[in-house]
A and B are shown apart, each in its own frame.
Chain A
Amino acid sequence: MQVKKPWWQSGGVRIALALVLLILFGGAVSGIYLSQIPPEQPIAFPHKTHVALGAQCTYCHPAAAWGPNAGLPGISKCWGCHQQVQKKSPELEKLAGYVQRNEPIPWVPVAIQPDFVKFNHQPHVQAGIACETCHGPVSQMTVALPQPRQNMGWCLDCHQRMRPNDFVRLSDCATCHY
């Protein structure tokens, strides 16, 4: 005698449920993936070329040495070199266009933190942390790539490793959140 299965054991419901879970899971995976791919930049700026030519990070991002934000270079900084260094390339054409129109370049920063995280470059630079420690091997990148897992555990981990004697202060909520 056939025992009637409860409705939630019927095949159709199970398949539907599996599909819903799959879609949710897929959505989550793609969401995480999308948040980790670099965004489209207005100019595919080749970091590695500039680093290879000997440009220091703080030449274009000088505010890292004295303030919270490293800052993005304006067109005057780019054009300061490139009006002399006139190599033909489609990316440089774009730069010339921005300079001609006196428009700011709409850069999309990738190393960003949420609004409730207050990060200050200056103490880190002062403590002698190299830029690559957090920003990855920029000397091998063209456009800057977001670094995975730049989360609170990562911050705390480094604070504990580098300054074990100062960890009470460096793990205080008010160091970063206010």
Chain B
Amino acid sequence: MSEKITRRDFLKLTAMGAAATAVMTGCGPMSRYVVRRPYTQMPEYNQTGESTYYASTCRECPAGCGILVRTREGRALTIEGNPNHPVNRGRLCARGLTAQQGLYNPDRVRGPRFQGRGKPTSPPRDLTWEEAVQVVGSALQKPPERIAFLLGLVPDHLFDLVSELTQALGAPPPLRYGALAALDGRTTLLEATRRLFDTPALPYFDLAQAEVTLAFGADFLQAWLSPVTYTRAYGNMRQGNPRRRGELIVFEPRQSLTAGNADRWVPIAPGSEAHVALALGGRVAELRGLPVPEAFRAVSLEEAARVSGIPAAQLEDLAVTFATAERPLALVGGSALTQPNGLVTAQAVLALNALVNNLGQPGGVFLTPAEATPAPLTAVSDLVRRMQAGEIEVLFIHGVNPLFELPAALGFAAALENVPLVISFAPFPDETALQSDYIFPDHSALESFGYQRSLAGADRPAWSASQPVVVPLYNTRATVDVLLAAAQAIGRALPYRDEVDFIQQKILPLLNAGGFYTAPEILTFWSRWLQYGGWWTPAAGLPAPRSPRLPASFGTLTPPPAPAEGQFYLLTYTNHLGDGSGANRPWLQELPDAMTTVTWNTWVEIHPTTAEHLGLKDDDVVRITTPYGAVEASVYRYPAIRPDTIAIPFGQGHTALGRWAEGRGCNPAQILPAATNPAGDPAFIGTTATLMPTGRRRPLARVESKDGVYGEH
């Protein structure tokens, strides 16, 4: 690797951990003395008994919060927020705070290995990195159009390198996919900004200074683009604004954490968000004395009321509240976009902001720096089709777990069988890695260098830096280094010595980009880059979207289908387990779900009256069936969901990923449709589910009952 890592080539005081548990027992002579192995050469930045902090970037979700990792004697202890980082300002969510349980997870892949797809005929065996580089090298020599890279959601240095590599080879560019983006409807949002503002960029909503906020589906407090940024903004919206306490109104069929914190939750019929947004837009334009744009005439208030199940009087009241507010804001995401009408909804809500003139205003809408768009579900299904047709000879997978995250209906599992060579770079033995031919494990996030270019939660142009906070625990190697070595071995070398050299060359333009620090040359810049945990401009400032040219129509509206008798709308959502990659962190499993307080398992949320109608009680196991499959989960009678809707959280139901994740709950991706909306994101509504009691009962470990749920004991 680089100079930087050999400099930190230190030894640990190994006995500390043993001492912690052994000495506590009081002291027999055997436990009284422990051996300490001091550093052979004490690094000058390290003092025995004192903590050393390293600035890095949280990689638990694509938001890219800045972290300070507290280390002592070469061990990562706690993870704290980086107070200067523009995304999170020193704050962190539960996922980032438990990231060291990933680093020290006992189930990590400890070295390169031949996996043999888990077939008994080809038992796994360990390889050396030289063999691994050879395997990757020969894989890169396949016909370029038959090579495919499937990467995770983060726009990081690996994506940039793979983009260059595929370009040099003439292979198709890498795909970036993640369940989080699909469930957020990010491509839909990007397509909407492209159509309205000519720039495909994720919007930044200045929630902190907004006074009346309408949120359509975006669960910004727990999932969505940047939960910590928006939670901080939410706090300031409530109590940090000297003018008035901000008001929040949320349209969602199922009350998410965001809706639970709202002043008003409007239980809108799934799929009718576009109708409501259009009707509200027309009414707001009228109330503000503007000519009603053609696109907003498509739906009348009465029709929206009929489709959405919200009384017309309430819609009128909301329109008045929004139109007369000093600083109104409308934001959209999540379940409002993963619909056949999602693209209309996205455009209508963004245009609603234009109607009240808040583009580029305090409490309004801004655009984050444009990024290379993540792949929508349609691009992945195209890849699956090519895999199925035998057009892919080698598939590289990094940072994503498609066998778990993709809807099973897409047929990825079957298509994988038709790919002769599958190479996974996963640090954990996840479902996809176990079905690969080879696993060449990357370092875990806290052991690796890197950067993240695009930060949806930053109020300014910013890059976030990663650096190793501990020496790699196992025989892992940075994927960038493996790819560089492989490219060199086959005579297609890229002009980079190693990963650090690649990152340094990529951040070179930042020297003159007006950041809050700079340096005359890269090495000084590099040390500050590592010290501050990234680079950003001194003052906040994002471009305002230009005034949109509203089309005559945002698109055709599909009326949401009414579920037949005994059928329910099926929703899935992400809680603190995120896209499921957090399921092997035991403390995330132990953490109660914010709304239901359930731990360690999957539940299905059913409205109490519906449950009563079906004769279901809490903890009854039901079978949830869609045309694509069936899963079983325990009932949680959830008072804040529409009676015609059921919801299952995403993230559990792993068949791999280690001792704490495996065999726990169910994976709703098994029963989701592969249908997409016009932007290419999933379109869930249109698929309905049936519920069938199984007659069994499995109590959920809920924290809401102090005495536990197992009854007398």
Contacts and interface: CB of A to CB of B under 8 A. Distances in A.
A73 B38 contact: yes
Interface in B5-49: 11, 19-21, 23-24, 26-29, 32-42, 47-49
A125 interface: no
Contact of B50 (A63, A102, A104, A105): A63
Interface in A99-124: 102-110, 112, 114-116
Given A31-B29, A114-B24, A114-B26, A107 B50 contact: no
Nearest to B32: A35
A58 to B, nearest CB: 13
Contact of A107 (B19, B23, B38): B38
State which size class the interface on A falls in. Answer: 20 to 34
A69 to B, nearest CB: 3
B668 to A, nearest CB: 43
Contact of B40 (A63, A75, A109, A110): A75
A104 B48 contact: no
Contacts of A74: 38-42
Contacts of B49: 63, 67-69, 71
A106 B34 contact: no
Interface string B193-205: 0000000000000
A155 B612 CA distance: 65
A108 B28 contact: no
Interface in A47-101: 63, 66-77
B443 to A, nearest CB: 24
A100 to B, nearest CB: 12
B33 A110 contact: yes
Given A74-B41, A74-B42, A102-B40, A67 B48 contact: yes
Contact of B35 (A63, A107, A114): A107
A173 interface: no
A34 interface: yes
B36 A63 contact: no
Contact of A104 (B27, B33, B34, B38): B38
A76 B40 CA distance: 6
B38 A105 contact: yes
A136 interface: no
Contact of A115 (B20, B35, B36, B37): B20
A104 B32 contact: no
User: Which of under 10, 10 to 19, 20 to 34, or 35 or more describes the interface residues of B?
Assistant: 20 to 34
B41 A72 contact: no
A31 B34 contact: no
A35 B26 contact: no
Contacts of A107: 35-38
A72 B38 contact: yes
Contact of A116 (B24, B29, B48): B24
Nearest to A99: B40
A46 interface: no
Interface in A15-51: 31, 34-35, 39
B37 A35 contact: no
Contacts of B33: 39, 108-110, 112
Contacts of A66: 47, 50
A110 B39 CA distance: 19
Nearest to B41: A76
A102 B543 CA distance: 56
A49 to B, nearest CB: 20
Q: Is the contact region of chain B dominated by helix, strand, or loop, or is it mixed?
A: loop
Given A69-B49, A71-B49, A106-B35, A114 B40 contact: no
Best-buried of A73, A103, A109 by chain B (most CB within 10 Å):
A109
B40 A108 contact: no
Given A108-B33, A110-B33, A114-B24, A103 B40 contact: yes
Contact of B37 (A34, A104, A114): A104
Among B21, B27, B41, find the residue whose CB has the most chain A CB atoms closer than 10 A: B41
Nearest to B30: A34
A122 to B, nearest CB: 9
Given A68-B49, A71-B49, A114-B23, A106 B37 contact: yes
Contact of B48 (A63, A114, A115): A63
B32 A115 contact: no
B11 A63 contact: no
Find the residue from A39, A63, A66, A114 having the highest chain B CB count within 10 A. Answer: A114
A78 B99 CA distance: 38
A177 B71 CA distance: 22
Contacts of A110: 33
A116 B26 CA distance: 10
A35 B29 contact: yes
Contacts of A115: 19-21, 23-24
A20 B21 CA distance: 32
B41 A35 contact: no
A146 to B, nearest CB: 9
Nearest to A75: B40
Contacts of A76: 40-42
Contacts of B28: 31, 35
Contacts of B11: 104
A115 B40 CA distance: 25
B667 to A, nearest CB: 41
A76 B44 CA distance: 13
B39 A104 contact: yes
B35 A71 contact: no
A48 to B, nearest CB: 22
B47 A114 contact: no
Contacts of A106: 35-37
B23 A104 contact: no
A43 B21 CA distance: 27
Interface centre among B20, B24, B37, B40 (most CB of A within 10 A): B40
A63 B37 CA distance: 16
B96 to A, nearest CB: 25
Nearest to A108: B33
Contacts of B29: 31, 34-35
A37 to B, nearest CB: 9
B27 A108 contact: no
B36 A108 contact: yes
Nearest to B48: A71
B47 A67 contact: yes
B32 to A, nearest CB: 5
A73 B38 CA distance: 7
A87 B585 CA distance: 55
B319 to A, nearest CB: 56
B34 A112 contact: yes
B8 to A, nearest CB: 15
A104 B21 CA distance: 23
A102 B29 CA distance: 30
Contacts of B36: 72, 106-109
Contacts of B19: 115
B254 to A, nearest CB: 43
A105 B37 contact: yes
Nearest to A71: B48
Contacts of A116: 24
A103 B19 CA distance: 21
8 tightest A-B contacts by CB? A69-B49, A34-B29, A104-B37, A71-B48, A68-B49, A72-B38, A67-B49, A74-B39
6 contacts: A35-B28, A72-B38, A74-B40, A104-B11, A104-B39, A114-B23
Interface of B: 11, 19-21, 23-24, 26-29, 32-42, 47-50
Given A35-B32, A104-B37, 4 more contacts: A67-B50, A74-B39, A108-B36, A114-B27
